């Protein structure tokens, strides 16, 4: 196994699957199966899931809600996804704990770093819900920050594309995929990997990121085994 402790970032939007809104149960089930394969390998797994399928803070002003309020709504949206994912993982025989960046005591534990690490050591999957608990951040920044805090070896960004390309592969047929690229080159070429806050946190803390296709069967487990999947940024 290449990694002992990882942080997996899943977008909320991906949870919609074939639907236009909300949570697709098939997608949830598929994610649970992919994650089960890596817990069976013995890797310690922490997960951050986004909320874009339900609400994003930047949308708030379009409907007359101020940005900060909207961001809190977005954070609560991530918690709904996290609860759905938690259920799917437990249905499939995994042990989990949900930790929230905003205190919601009757639903989940507050985020406490040492406690999160303890859960991981005991083989529980830790899901970080409600972002970092502050507006003007994203779940990508949450993923970077929490990964550093729990000393994960890598951030695995599961998306629907199989890595980072020289240009948008959906628009430019000549675009090619990087297998490895440096943080500096991503900056210089202005490639879209994560928002700048999230990206800089990883760079400054020497935390590699792998962007990979989460929808391809077995990809996640192959990555953990050390196969070249997606794009490694280091
Ligand atoms: N959010 C926030 N602080 C955080 C994490 C998330 O304010 O620490 C809000 C923000 O409004 C964001 C929304 O929650 O738009 C949903 O998260 P995100 O857009 O990152 O989800 P994804 O794009 O991964 O589905």
Residue 118 φ/ψ, nearest 5 degrees: -60, -45
ipTM of the complex: 0.95
Partners of 128 in beta bridges: 48, 99
* CA 153 to ligand 1 center in whole angstroms: 23
**DSSP-derived secondary structure letter, 56:** -
> What angle is formed at CA 132 by the lines to CA 57 and CA 157, rounded to 5 degrees?
85
Task: Give the pLDDT of residue 209.
Answer: 98
Is the pTM above the cut of 0.95? yes
Give the span between the Cα atoms of 110 and 46, in whole angstroms: 15
Rounded to the nearest angstrom, the distance between the alpha carbon of 195 and the centre of ligand 1 is 11
146: CA distance to ligand 1 center in Å? 14
Percent of the chain with pLDDT over 90: 93
Instruction: Give, in order, the Cα–Cα distances in Å from 84 to each of 40, 41, 75, 153.
Output: 21, 24, 15, 26
The CATH number assigned to the domain with range 5-233 reads 3.40.1160.10
CB of 129 shorter than 6 A to ligand 1: no
Does residue 97 carry a pLDDT above 90? yes
Cβ density class 79-111: b for 16+ within 10 Å, e for less: bbbbbbbbebbeeeebebbbbbbbeeeeebbeb
Lowest mean pLDDT among 51-55, 119-123, 170-174, 184-188: 170-174
Q: What pLDDT score does 34 carry?
A: 98
Read off the pLDDT band of 221 (50, 70, 90). very high
**Mean pLDDT over each residue of the chain, to the nearest integer:** 96
Split at pLDDT 50, 70, 90, the class of 57 is very high
pLDDT of residue 111: 98
Q: For 151, what's the count of Cα atoms within 13 Å in the CB-facing half-sphere? A: 7
Q: Name the pLDDT band for 107 (thresholds 50, 70, 90).
A: very high
Give ∠ CA 46-112-76 in degrees, rounded to 5.
70
Does the beta carbon of 57 sit less than 6 angstroms from any atom of ligand 1? yes
Please compute the mean of the pLDDT values over residues 168-193 and round it to a whole number: 94
Atom of ligand 1 nearest to the CA of 60: 11
CB atoms within 10 A of CB 2: 12
Every domain of the chain and the residues it spans: 5-233
Map tokens 């590699």 to a residue: 208
Model confidence at 169: pLDDT above 90: no
Going by pLDDT thresholds of 50, 70 and 90, the confidence category of residue 168 is: confident
Q: Is the pLDDT confidence value at 170 over 90?
A: no
Q: Average of pLDDT values for 167-189? A: 94
132 lines ligand 1 (CB under 6 A): yes
Residue 20 predicted with pLDDT over 90: no
């Amino acid at each position: 196994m290449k990694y002992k402790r990882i942080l997996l970032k899943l977008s909320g939007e991906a949870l919609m699957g074939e639907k236009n809104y909300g949570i697709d149960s098939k997608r949830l089930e598929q994610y649970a199966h992919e994650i089960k394969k890596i817990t069976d390998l013995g890797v310690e797994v922490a997960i951050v899931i986004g909320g874009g399928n339900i609400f994003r803070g930047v949308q708030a002003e379009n409907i007359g809600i101020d940005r900060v309020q909207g961001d809190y709504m977005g954070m609560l949206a991530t918690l709904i996804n996290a609860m759905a994912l938690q259920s799917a993982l437990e249905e499939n025989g995994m042990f989990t704990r949900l930790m929230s960046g905003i205190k919601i005591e009757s639903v989940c534990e507050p985020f406490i770093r040492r406690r999160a690490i303890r859960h991981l050591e005991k083989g529980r999957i830790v899901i970080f819900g409600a972002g970092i608990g502050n507006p003007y951040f994203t779940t990508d920044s949450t993923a970077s920050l929490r990964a550093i805090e729990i000393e994960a070896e890598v951030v695995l960004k599961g998306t629907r594309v199989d890595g980072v390309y020289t240009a948008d592969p959906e628009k430019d047929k000549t675009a090619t995929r990087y297998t490895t690229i440096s943080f500096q080159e991503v900056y210089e070429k202005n490639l879209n990997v994560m928002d700048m806050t999230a990206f800089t946190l990883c760079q400054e803390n020497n935390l590699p990121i792998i962007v990979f296709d989460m929808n391809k069967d077995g990809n996640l487990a192959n990555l953990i085994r050390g196969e070249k999947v997606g794009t490694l940024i280091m």
